[in-house]
Amino acid sequence: MENQTNVSSPNAASRGGFGSKLGFILATTGSAVGLGNLWMFPYMIGQNGGGLFFLLFLVFTVLFGLPILIGEMNLGRSMQKDVIGAYRDINKKWTFVGVIAVLCPFVIMSYYSVVGGWILKYFFSYITFQDFSGDKSAIFQNFSSSAGEPIVWHLIFLALCVILSCIGIEKGIEKANLIMLPSLFVLIFILAIYCMTLPGAFDGAKFLFVPDFSKFKSGNDIFKILLAAMGQAFFSLSLGQGSIINYGSYLRRKNNIQKDCAMVAGFDIFVAIMAGLVILPACFAFHTPVTSGPGLIFETLPSIFSDIPAGGLIGAVFFLLVFFAAFSSAIALFEVISTMLVDRFKMKRIHAALLVGLALGISGIFNSLSMGNWHSVSIFGMNLFTFSEFVADKLLIPVGTFCLCLFIAYVWKTKNFFSHLQEGASAIYLKKAMSFIYKYAAPVVIFLVFIMGLVSQFQQ
């Protein structure tokens, strides 16, 4: 085992960092709050039967997600390295977990930037007064399945990531988040209140909050939902994907990690619930099927905006804020890969950003095409887009988080872990419970859910 402390590594000093405590919380919240909450959460709820999925999502977030978030942040801060370096410097044999944590953001970004492109397109449509009357689902399907336009928007989204990554972490991300996130919170809260007044809204809220067990005919359904809820909770908190370790590596020692993480998790849950309270009541009010999948927000939101006074303007502002949320998450994902190239291969930041941009540009094009012309190309019965989501959410994230827990408990050792966590904190909360979670509860539960979920997924 090599040096574990590395408090004032010259590397750390030359890497820049977050200017203020608040800036850091906002940036991490910016990484957590993204398409996972606003785009994915509502349609996952819809596809997985409503209330029970929501309940499981909450349980996974609080019981396992939060401790893992704290674990990743603490690992990043104590090592002050890129993700692979953080694992490797504690124990060389565990370098592979770092490699998974870099691979995962790559897979995620290959479809995330496609959806980011859809958001940009909708924002652009609203500011140019495009007509959204008529069948909103058909409008979305026509757009997303075409071979040209979505690819152009995906490339624009990605180009913006490359540019921000070149500007650097402190100036770019911190300043932008300071305005974007609070505005998003306020607007989505107001929209949720509005949507709750729509006719039929109550059924939407009931669907979100009340588990309906009669929907589950077999154990298979339950295991599939368990795996989906776990994937959603971890994805939404950005876990198992290196980004939190990476941000942690820029974190100052005076921050209280436990408190900061609890705030980030709280914001993340809040935005997910608000998104659910906007989209699901709207589905019931405007008769959009809740099961319609990745297009759900693009099919329901325009109905809401056509319904309200100054809807066009509100639509434009809303999509702009969703874009910001998606963008700050995308940057976090992007940074994992480019920081690794900078730290590991001593690449110039600009070269790393261009290289990552190029690779993601190409893989995103395949994913985008799989929504249309290439729809029939299938891997294990899924199109490429769904397959990429599957690989990230249901394979790499569970494996990454499972390994992280074992790593903390048995390789880094909880004693070292807690002594680092102590920095910046007057006390460590729930130390025993956290220890138990890293050592036993989380690895066992993640392992079981992962295996049973996969088996039931392929048993159909």
4 by Cβ neighbours in 10 Å (0-12 / 13-18 / 19+) ranks as middle
- Does the protein bind ligand PHE through residue 424 (CB under 6 A)? no
CB atoms within 10 A of CB 208: 22
Can you tell me which residue has the tokens 């002050």?
80
Structure tokens at 107: 């897979």
Count residues contacting ligand PHE (CB under 6 A)?
A: 15
355 by Cβ neighbours in 10 Å (0-12 / 13-18 / 19+) ranks as middle
- Does the protein bind ligand PHE through residue 396 (CB under 6 A)? no
Distance CA 141, CA 119 (A): 14
Please tell me what DSSP assigns to residue 33.
S
Name which of 321 and 333 has its Cβ closer to ligand PHE: 333
- Does the protein bind ligand PHE through residue 357 (CB under 6 A)? no
- Does the protein bind ligand PHE through residue 243 (CB under 6 A)? yes
- Does the protein bind ligand PHE through residue 256 (CB under 6 A)? no
- Does the protein bind ligand PHE through residue 32 (CB under 6 A)? yes
- Does the protein bind ligand PHE through residue 113 (CB under 6 A)? no
Please tell me what DSSP assigns to residue 379.
E
Work out whether the CA dihedral 378, 380, 383, 388 comes out positive or negative: negative
Mask of contacts with ligand PHE, 79-108, x by CB under 6 A?
Answer: -----------------------------x
- Does the protein bind ligand PHE through residue 388 (CB under 6 A)? no
- Does the protein bind ligand PHE through residue 246 (CB under 6 A)? no
Please tell me what DSSP assigns to residue 382.
E
Q: Please, what is the Cα angle at 440 between 437 and 443, to 5 degrees?
A: 90
SS3 for 254?
coil
Structure tokens at 387: 């397959």
**Site for ligand PHE (CB under 6 A): which residue of 245, 333, 342, 445?**
333
User: How many CA atoms lie less than 13 Å away from 52 in the CB half-sphere?
Assistant: 17
Distance CA 199, CA 289 (A): 16
Nearest to 301 by CA among 103, 122, 445: 122
Distance CA 157, CA 78 (A): 33
- Does the protein bind ligand PHE through residue 332 (CB under 6 A)? yes
Can you tell me which residue has the tokens 């008529």?
134
SS3 for 304?
helix
Nearest-approach distance from CB 182 to ligand PHE, in angstroms? 18
Nearest-approach distance from CB 423 to ligand PHE, in angstroms? 24
Q: Which stretch binds ligand PHE (CB under 6 A): 30-38, 202-210, 346-354, 428-436?
A: 30-38
**Site for ligand PHE (CB under 6 A): which residue of 25, 27, 28, 34?**
34
Structure tokens at 190: 């107001």
Mask of contacts with ligand PHE, 147-166, x by CB under 6 A?
Answer: --------------------
Distance CA 438, CA 405 (A): 5
- Does the protein bind ligand PHE through residue 37 (CB under 6 A)? yes
Name which of 236 and 456 has its Cβ closer to ligand PHE: 236
- Does the protein bind ligand PHE through residue 241 (CB under 6 A)? yes
- Does the protein bind ligand PHE through residue 177 (CB under 6 A)? no
DSSP codes, 222-233:
HHHHHHHHHHHH
- Does the protein bind ligand PHE through residue 109 (CB under 6 A)? no
Nearest-approach distance from CB 325 to ligand PHE, in angstroms? 7
Name which of 102 and 187 has its Cβ closer to ligand PHE: 102
Q: Which stretch binds ligand PHE (CB under 6 A): 35-43, 127-135, 378-386, 431-439?
A: 35-43
Name which of 51 and 105 has its Cβ closer to ligand PHE: 105
Name which of 87 and 235 has its Cβ closer to ligand PHE: 235
Nearest-approach distance from CB 330 to ligand PHE, in angstroms? 7
Distance CA 253, CA 248 (A): 10
- Does the protein bind ligand PHE through residue 117 (CB under 6 A)? no
**Site for ligand PHE (CB under 6 A): which residue of 28, 110, 144, 236?**
236
- Does the protein bind ligand PHE through residue 29 (CB under 6 A)? no
- Does the protein bind ligand PHE through residue 232 (CB under 6 A)? no
Distance CA 248, CA 101 (A): 14
Name which of 260 and 435 has its Cβ closer to ligand PHE: 260
Q: Are 34 and 229 in contact (CB under 8 A)?
A: no
When CB distances to ligand PHE are compared, the closest residue is 36
Name which of 136 and 154 has its Cβ closer to ligand PHE: 154
Which positions ≥6 away from 422 have C-beta within 8 Å?
428
Name which of 109 and 280 has its Cβ closer to ligand PHE: 109
List contacts with ligand PHE (CB under 6 A): 31-32, 34-37, 108, 235-236, 238, 241, 243, 329, 332-333
